[in-house]
A and B are shown apart, each in its own frame.
Chain A
Amino acid sequence: MKRTILLSLLLAAAASATAQGILGGHVTGNIQLDGQTSRADSTIGATALEEGLRLNARADVLYTNGNFSAGLRFEAYQNPLPGFNAKYKGQGIANYFASYDGSWLSITAGTFYEQFGNGMILRAYEDRNLGQDNAILGFKVAVRPVEGLTLKGVIGKQRYYWEWGDGLVRGVDADLNLNSLIKPFADSKTRISLGGGFVSKYEHDETILADNPEYKLRLPLNVGAGSVRFDLSHGGFNLQAEYALKGQDPNAVNNYIYRKGQALFLSASYSMKGFSANIQAKRIDNMAYKSVRSESGEMLYINYTPAITRQHTYAFLSIYPYATQATGEQGLQADFMYKIKKGTALGGKYGTDLHLNASAICGLKTNAIGGKGTLGYDSPFFGLGNLYYSDINFEVAKKVSPKVKFAATYAWQQFNPVVEGHSGSIHSNHVIVADVTWKAAPKHVLRFEAEWLGSNSKYSTDTDDKRAGDWIMGLIEYNFTSKFFVSLSDQYCYHDGIGNYYNISLGYTHKATRITVGYGKQREGIICIGGVCRQVPAANGLTFSLSTSF
């Protein structure tokens, strides 16, 4: 109630400011509505929605006046779209903050997002299409006393759907750029940035029984995590590294073991105009770090450990998306891009783009020590566990004429179902994608996409994995000016599986407003149609989406 009054005052102030133009300032914002109906369809795993229609809606309103800003976000889940946690059900003001951002000092009171380094020890962020929001409610201060030095401090509690988690999160971080701080070094070709951070979470004691229920675990009330990082560039060379260490943190994700956590991320690249090579390595060991130890779901993560596999957007390439195993994994990724110059035999009139990407992720090699209340396991740093995921993909893209562009991709992916918590043998998929864009006439653009997926996996009622089998897909998209589009697509399983996903979509875009309506069957995953990519849940029915920024 108090909050409501405060917010009303804030908005009233903003309103009078803009209307009278005395205080100046601007109101900006964005609105997004996503709705869906769905009938039951066991062939694709869609369920009938009792409510008939489900709707997610949100509106961000941001008031800015010079260095001062204040904002709030209204969210409504009536009821949450399939794929979103049912605990989101409801509506209200999810975010609210006031902030001063000067040239050397920034202070935020209220909800905020923040990331230290790569986020290995702290990342508060939101991804509205995934229903992910671990915003911190509290205070954030950033100081930039001299050019090249940023010091940050945060304190607060994290969002848990419509509540705030009990755990208290505190963190400090320093970010230094040596070229700015050390004068003689200012114009050096070698660029060096360093950083380091420390995060601590506090949570009250509770009763967690060991495997032998006569014993209660002695839980650490404060759990710390620290990280160091650097970023070194010299001409086309770049080297980045971050190492993080976490103290004893028995929690629901790691089954209450007392092993310390650690994570290492390395990236080396060389690039020049028209060519690049990049190699990344990552090792994560027991790094699930949450502000509430008993939370095993998607919320209340303090840190972020991304997957280092390529994020695909073509339908069949992202059919088995890899997700980081925060309890333990290690992996390598290599990425090469080369542009064949125009005017050469292979480059043709417009040049040709080649892109090769490969990644492999394995589990850790572990020796079990015990269950709850023990150190859990031991793991040699260079030991290899089972293969979780591998992906080799090669793409050729070429402008054939002023009107026609062509891209083709081949990929071989292996996916271990253990990543999604299932047993079974590894899925091995070969995928071919052809993507042609034809500018038929000014303001009339047609796009054709054909995909094929050949898999070793066969559909069985035991696992009920509806992605199994061999698939083909076709898509036709017609764009009239940049405003209207219509697209038709069908994914059909022709061998060893089930499923036929047809879809028709219509869309209208005007400036920063976009409206799309779709009808048909939709597979869960990332889709890109008519120029925008987003995450969609499985459904059989009507979907609509409206977004606007102002």
Chain B
Amino acid sequence: MKHFVITLFALMLATVAVAQNAQMPENVSIKSLDGKTVQSSVIQNDGKPIILSFWATWCKPCNKELDAIKEVYEEWQEETGVKLVAISIDDARSSSRVKPWVDGKAWDYEVYLDPNQDFKRAMNVVNVPHTFVIDGKGQIVWQHTSYVEGSEEEVIEAVRKAMAEQPSDKQ
């Protein structure tokens, strides 16, 4: 019973905080594709928005989403300066196949490994694909789980909105 009250309390608390935009955590350890351990603060885009996409090699909808964005990525970058950072949650079973996978798919994204899912937990990702839009100040301004054909439009809409609401002061 006591535990139940605590949880209820926690949930109420959570609803209070929903209105606020949380920051993307900066000091979670992830790995670059050449095996180097880095902190999540390396995810930067000079004050412009970032699309942060959690995926895995075995996840079909994730691959569909990243393939679909690949087709329009250049246009998106020209229009908004956005950068897509893909976080692979593949564990040791398939993490060594991520770099060849990304090359084989001919993706131009910045990719990091999260083999023990520390970053996934810190970002409260339940299932993949889970995509975030981070504004120029590192705030999480939009998120969405799952992918169907065409829903990449919602991602770029969220990026445009983020830019309109918070024009980059570096431009």
Chain A interface (Cβ < 8 Å from any Cβ of B)? 4, 7-8, 11, 14-15, 18-19, 26-32, 59-62, 64, 67, 69, 72, 74, 91-93, 101-103, 106, 113-115, 118-120, 123, 125, 142, 144, 148, 150, 175, 177, 179-180, 191, 193, 231, 233, 236, 238, 240, 265, 267, 269-278, 280, 304, 306-308, 310-313, 335, 337-339, 353, 355, 405, 437, 439, 442-443, 445, 479, 481-482, 485, 509, 511-514, 528, 530-534, 547-550
Contacts and interface: CB of A to CB of B under 8 A. Distances in A.
A123 B92 CA distance: 10
Given A511-B142, A511-B144, A276 B100 contact: yes
Interface of B: 2-4, 6-7, 9-11, 13-18, 20, 22-23, 25-29, 34-37, 39, 41, 57-61, 64, 91-97, 99-106, 115-118, 121-130, 142-151, 154
Q: Report which residue of A101, A272, A277 has the largest number of chain B beta carbons within 10 angstroms of its beta carbon.
A: A101
A11 B59 contact: no
Contacts of A175: 37
Given A148-B36, A511-B144, A26 B100 contact: no
B145 A26 contact: no
B149 to A, nearest CB: 5
Given A123-B92, A271-B104, A533-B128, 11 more contacts: A4-B2, A64-B22, A115-B92, A125-B117, A240-B96, A267-B97, A310-B58, A482-B144, A511-B143, A531-B61, A531-B129
A136 B149 CA distance: 40
B100 A445 contact: no
Contacts of A273: 103, 106
B106 A72 contact: no
A509 B146 contact: yes
A538 to B, nearest CB: 21
Given A74-B10, A191-B36, A445 B150 contact: yes
A549 B143 contact: yes
15 contacts: A67-B27, A69-B25, A93-B6, A103-B27, A106-B27, A115-B115, A119-B116, A269-B100, A270-B100, A335-B100, A338-B104, A482-B151, A531-B147, A533-B60, A550-B18
A508 to B, nearest CB: 10
A177 B36 contact: yes
B34 A193 contact: yes
Contact of A479 (B26, B102, B128, B148): B148
Contacts of A69: 25, 122
A532 B146 contact: yes
A8 B6 contact: yes
A8 B125 CA distance: 25
Contacts of A120: 92
Contact of B127 (A67, A150, A280, A547): A547
B23 to A, nearest CB: 7
A27 B17 contact: yes
A74 B7 contact: yes
A532 B17 contact: no
A179 B32 CA distance: 13
Given A177-B36, A550-B18, A113 B118 contact: yes
B134 to A, nearest CB: 14
A119 to B, nearest CB: 5
A335 B60 CA distance: 17
A531 B122 contact: no
Contacts of A150: 29, 37
Contacts of A64: 22-23, 25
A61 B10 contact: yes
